[in-house]
Amino acid sequence: MSDSATFPGLDDALALGLTEAEYELICERQGGPPNQVELAMYSLLWSEHCAYKHSKKLLRTLPTEGPSVVMGPGENAGAVDVGNGLVCAFKVESHNHPSAVEPFQGAATGVGGILRDIFAIGARPIAVLDSLRFGEPHLKSRYLSSLDEGDRGGNGGAGARSRYLLDRAVAGIGHYGNSIGVPTIGGEVYFEAPYEQNCLVNAMALGIAKREQLVTSAAVGVGNVVLLFGASTGRDGIGGASVLASAELGSADTPWADNPPGGYQDEDSSVDKRPTVQVGDPFEEKKLMECSLELLERGLLVSLQDLGAAGLTSSASEMASKGEVGIDIDVANVPLREADMEPFEIMVSESQERMLCVVEPTNVAAVLELCEKWEVGGAPIGTVTDSGQMRIFKAGQPVGSMPVRALVDDCPLYDLEPVKPEGTPYPAPKALLSKDATASEILLALLASANIASRRPLFEQYDSVVQSRTVRRPEQGDAAVLTIAPHGAPAAADGVHDTDGAVPGIAVSIDCNGRRVAADPYTGTVAAVLECASNLACVGARPLGTTNNLNFGNPEKPHIAWQLTEAVRGLGDACRALQAPIVGGNVSLYNEGTSAGPVYPTPVIGMVGELPDVRAAGRSGFVRAGDAIALVGPFAPSLDASELAKLWGWELPDRLPPIDIDAVAGAQAAVREAVRSGALSSAHDIAEGGLAVALAECCLGGDFGARVSLGEEFFGAEGADATGREAGGSGISPDSAVALFGEGSGGFLVSGGEDALRALGASVPMWTLGSVGGDVLRIECLTRAGGELIELSLSDLDQAHGALAELFA
């Protein structure tokens, strides 16, 4: 090894993503220039991905404590108390850049990584949800104006690539979750042009553990053994964390940016990036999961940590840092897939399906025996020391030594320099719907639009029922509902069935409308948090805690810094008001394509709530002919940043109408209590596409028609808000456009007996709209300006709503 290889210089540091100032600081902490192993480890731990250097100061403003919080941010996953001595662990994480390079493996390993976070704290994973963002798929819709064939893409074009990414990412999520026996119970997907060169793939997982069995990752006990178990270590994802996870994706990094799959652009430089993508093996992870849980169950481990981004480097350093100890690792003891790996390669490898644990020396044999039972590799690779140093050896020879504190805590944190941009930086979408469209035509176009159409073709590729907990599958309720115990379990054995037969459960929702956040990062983020809580309310659940994944562009750009700052402010305000503290999360920055600019700011929110009895869990679809239908809550619809505004090609506004968070929270509480009492037949929150789309979804969900009339009183004294006035087309009046298709927070569509609705109306604003029945959705608008009539059969609605089927044909 030459001197230059042993002691790389500033140029190497810059190439690894460090700044000159950071490199100098590392030299200072090391008392001289770092060698190859040291520089590799610093470059990963001081990357945005590991050090959160542009977001940490903001994240410190978030509420993280509350009566339900058992484990907050900083551990592998957060956890909230769900009663009976049990906790629910959960977290969302992104795998955006790996998915843009190789969507199947990127999405699959994203699921694998988040599942490891859950069982790393001792919880058995019980559910996965996903949150996906792609460019426009350009559906061949007869409800929308046709596009050029070039846009849609035969051999080329943006639509083809977005479709390819969607198809492979969905397959990858299913491949991993289905194979490992954890149900995928929900999720969301949006299609918007700003995601075209930088898709987002976020995965959330939940787990259940006995409170006293939770384990942390802090390495303790000088002399204890550090043991690596799971898959062997290869060259997967070397440099992944710093090269892939923290650099803007240029078009050259993105396969098929200009050519769809099948073009085999092998000469493209993107191919060089391919080997750095990690390959997942769900079978290995299934064994690893069962092995980890059994090791914990038997009390054989002192602490446990999964290996994710930055591999051994990150896991060992984090364990040492949390336990305020040192760790010695000898890379010669790491089981390798390729024999000739360099020490730095072993330390930074992102090979999947591996865990690191600390074991008392007397338990090592028992741990290895259990690894053998589960056919999982295991090897002692190091020891806990009191040196405060991470020391790396190769067959006893030192190859690197760094103060743990310098590695983990001394990365400089940067202040953002936020500046609100003039106007919107995002181009207006292409108009897809004529201004002459009638109310009926608009409703069908919205139902058939990519952001609103039924997600059935996606979720049918996921096992949503394994583990026997799923009470509300996708599209059955606004949030997924699970029992806490596997419901097949006999009541006496599981200890969590109340004596009166009540079956306690949890509900979970994941959401974020990035377009609304782009229009107004503060209000849009508040809306995303409220949307999750509204979804929970509709099934009868009260929020316990929140996780989030902040997907933003380059924070060194002032307007991105402003988006991030405002979004985090909104996140904090909304979570405080809902008493749903943040228990964990993830930040993904630099989500930008070179020519397309930044993605919409997308703070994905995941929220978990509790239900005392899932037998009363709410449904979103109508269930009984003759039920009355009412709109409940402080709903103030507007076309700003709505789906209809998008179809009409409107530019994004630079603010959204303000939201009264407390009023919305009050309506959520009222709906929640009504659902819990069993008084309501159905409850559905009004979201994209407004009231008319929500009505159609309730009809389709229950296979019932409805007759609804929006009288003059519904439109208020002022008539439509300002956005409606510019909506005047020849097909629909401004007032009707806002009332039928306007969006906003805090609106619920409920059905039930008239007495039940009256009782609900005593505590929240309510308009009775009509009744359930027949096989036609009929909506009458009686405005001063005249009227609008929608009259569509269930089969017409269903056909439009099924528009995504073409993507998976």
User: Which residues in this chain contact other proteins in the complex, by CB under 8 A?
Assistant: 154-155, 171, 174-175, 178-181, 262-263, 281-284, 286-287, 290, 374-375, 459-471, 473, 483, 486-490, 503, 614-615, 808
Annotation says 497 is catalytic: no
What phi and psi, each to the nearest 5 degrees, are found at residue 734?
-55, -45
Q: Which is nearer to other proteins, 263 or 597 (CB)?
A: 263
Residue among 49, 54, 138, 684 flagged as catalytic: 49
- CB of residue 211 to other proteins, shortest distance in Å: 22
Output the six-digit token pair for 407. Answer: 């590695």
- CB of residue 490 to other proteins, shortest distance in Å: 6
- CB of residue 181 to other proteins, shortest distance in Å: 3
Cα(647)–Cα(664) distance, integer angstroms = 27
- By three-state DSSP, how is residue 203 classified? strand
- CB of residue 339 to other proteins, shortest distance in Å: 18
Helix (H) or strand (E) holding 643: helix 643-647
Q: Determine whether 535 is exposed, middle or buried from the number of CB atoms within 10 Å of its CB (0-12, 13-18, 19+).
A: buried
Q: Which is nearer to other proteins, 738 or 807 (CB)?
A: 807
Output the six-digit token pair for 136. Answer: 């426009």
Residues 551-574: b if buried by 16+ CB within 10 A, e if exposed: bbbbbebebbbbbbbbbbbbbbbb
Q: How many CB atoms lie within 10 A of CB 428?
A: 14
Residue among 54, 95, 138, 559 flagged as catalytic: 95
Annotation says 559 is catalytic: no
- CB of residue 184 to other proteins, shortest distance in Å: 9
Q: Which is nearer to other proteins, 246 or 464 (CB)?
A: 464
**Residue among 682, 700, 724, 689 nearest 792 (CA):** 700
**Residue among 606, 586, 595, 424 nearest 528 (CA):** 606
Q: Which is nearer to other proteins, 125 or 598 (CB)?
A: 125
- CB of residue 539 to other proteins, shortest distance in Å: 14
Per the CB < 8 A criterion, the answer to whether 330 and 390 are in contact is no
Q: Determine whether 763 is exposed, middle or buried from the number of CB atoms within 10 Å of its CB (0-12, 13-18, 19+).
A: middle
- By three-state DSSP, how is residue 51 classified? helix
| Cα angle 254-258-259, degrees, rounded to a multiple of 5 | 95
Q: Which is nearer to other proteins, 256 or 459 (CB)?
A: 459
Output the six-digit token pair for 450. Answer: 């990519």
- CB of residue 265 to other proteins, shortest distance in Å: 13
Q: Which is nearer to other proteins, 20 or 498 (CB)?
A: 498
Cα(382)–Cα(327) distance, integer angstroms = 7
Q: Which is nearer to other proteins, 320 or 611 (CB)?
A: 611
Output the six-digit token pair for 334. Answer: 């790491």
Q: Which is nearer to other proteins, 423 or 490 (CB)?
A: 490
Tell me 275's DSSP state: G
Q: Tokens 């228990």 label which residue?
A: 583
Output the six-digit token pair for 643. Answer: 């789906």
- CB of residue 788 to other proteins, shortest distance in Å: 37
Cα(201)–Cα(166) distance, integer angstroms = 10
Residue type, 729: G
Known catalytic residues are 49, 95
